[in-house]
Amino acid sequence: MSEPETKKPRVDTREPEPVKPPSVNAAVPQYADLEIRDADELVIDLRVAKFTLKKKVLLMIALNTALVASILTINFLMLSDVPELFSTINIIAVVIFALPIVLLRYTEYNEVKEIEEMFPVFLRDFVETIRGGMTLPAAIKAVAKNDYKALNSYVKRMAAQLDWGIAVERVMISFGKRSKSKLIMRIISSVVESQRFGGNISDTFEALSNTAVQIDRLRQERSLSMNSQMITGYVVFFVFLGVMLGLQNFLVPSLGNINSAGVAGSLGSLTGSASGPQSLDIAGEYKVIFRNLIIIQGLFAGLSVGKMAEGEILGGVKHSALMMLVGFVVFAVAG
């Protein structure tokens, strides 16, 4: 009797699929799906950057752009023969275009700055509440009754979202993104990771609160140490303004109104034509150039002062506005 044939196991000869290496962002928590957005927000994804704009802001920018385009069109068509007025209207058009955007960004910058100043106070109260035995959602609801100035609306929003039954992790990530503060987002990310891996939340919050206080203290020390640099920036600007006034009032008048009669006569002798004298207003042309130089100097000097003092270019908007306004008025009166 023959032995039954044993089936040999099939060997898979296919090559295994290559294992994809983890991406650079694999270690970074992906919180995009946890963000809660308002209905009036519009997200613009340009691949290299993503913008979240209020629809009202987008409408304001579109209307402002249309207004500036109309002003520039009328200026080029009707006033291009009047150099001084033409240049002035161009400057006004640029200011009208930039003013709403700059004010919007500067208001947002001031709000983020105030939020970061009050965030350590919020963390300290939050840690004390957790140490009292409250859970994380209950602690947020409890501290929402305190006054944190610009942070009030964010804390009350978190408390309301928790009442609606939204997960704590999602609420905190949404708060970090809405604050638009890199410092707060880093702290929130650390808290979420600590909660995921079972860390002690109260100890984590206390350590992060101390870190936030130290960062705020370093910023204040930096601002105090940069006061001399701010004064130097203002001195340089006013020296430049004085030089422009000196050139306009003493050097340019010495040139006088150049009469091109001699040039025209010499050209007429060569070409056989006779042309009348033409007056070239050199002083007026230099006045426009000097005024534009003062405005440009004020703009960039103010931004430099803000960058040195506060570490952000937006912090120099108020300095730029002050320098440009003072320079424009002084040159218009004394020039």
| 19: pLDDT strictly greater than 60 | no
How far, in Å, CA of 174 to CA of 196, rounded? 17
pLDDT band at residue 24 under the 50/70/90 scheme: very low
Q: Which of 62, 290, 17, 312 is nearest to 182 (CA)?
A: 312
How far, in Å, CA of 126 to CA of 130, rounded? 6
| 82: pLDDT strictly greater than 60 | yes
Same structural domain for residues 233 and 334? yes
| 86: pLDDT strictly greater than 90 | no
Same structural domain for residues 214 and 240? no
pLDDT band at residue 52 under the 50/70/90 scheme: low
| 279: pLDDT strictly greater than 80 | no
Residue at 287 is within a domain:
yes
How far, in Å, CA of 278 to CA of 263, rounded? 10
Residue at 78 is within a domain:
no
Distance of CA 128 to the CA centre of its chain: 35
Report the pLDDT averaged over residues 25-51.
45
Least confident of 12-21, 51-60, 142-151, 318-327: 12-21
**Which of these three, 199, 223, 247, is where a domain ends?**
223
H helix count then E strand count, the chain? 12, 4
Same structural domain for residues 153 and 194? yes
| 176: pLDDT strictly greater than 80 | yes
| 242: pLDDT strictly greater than 90 | yes
Residue 208 is part of a domain; what is its CATH number? 1.20.81
Same structural domain for residues 212 and 301? no
| 20: pLDDT strictly greater than 50 | no
Place of tokens 């209307």: 63
Per cent of the chain over pLDDT 70 is: 74
Report the pLDDT averaged over residues 186-207.
76
Query: Own/partner pairs for 142-148, CB < 8 Å, 24+ apart?
Result: 146/122, 148/118, 148/121, 148/122
Same structural domain for residues 290 and 206? no
Q: What is the domain extent for residue 286?
A: 226-255+281-335
- Would you call 2 exposed, middle or buried from its count of C-beta atoms within 10 A (0-12, 13-18, 19+)? exposed
Same structural domain for residues 128 and 207? yes
| 226: pLDDT strictly greater than 60 | yes
Residue at 65 is within a domain:
no
Same structural domain for residues 180 and 200? yes
Residue at 311 is within a domain:
yes
How far, in Å, CA of 97 to CA of 68, rounded? 6
Residue at 10 is within a domain:
no
Residue at 87 is within a domain:
no
How far, in Å, CA of 45 to CA of 173, rounded? 20
| 201: pLDDT strictly greater than 80 | no
**Which of these three, 182, 202, 223, is where a domain ends?**
223
Same structural domain for residues 139 and 167? yes
Same structural domain for residues 300 and 287? yes
Of 52-56, 271-275, 281-285, 317-321, which one has max mean pLDDT? 317-321
| 246: pLDDT strictly greater than 50 | yes
Per cent of the chain over pLDDT 90 is: 11
Same structural domain for residues 215 and 240? no
Domains identified in the chain, total number: 2
Residue at 118 is within a domain:
yes
Report the pLDDT averaged over residues 80-96.
81
Least confident of 206-210, 227-231, 233-237, 324-328: 206-210
How far, in Å, CA of 84 to CA of 24, rounded? 55
| pLDDT of res. 162 | 84
Residue at 64 is within a domain:
no
| 2: pLDDT strictly greater than 90 | no
Instruction: DSSP for 118-151, please give it.
Output: HHHHHHHHHHHHHHTT--HHHHHHHHTTS--GGG
Same structural domain for residues 173 and 139? yes
Same structural domain for residues 240 and 161? no
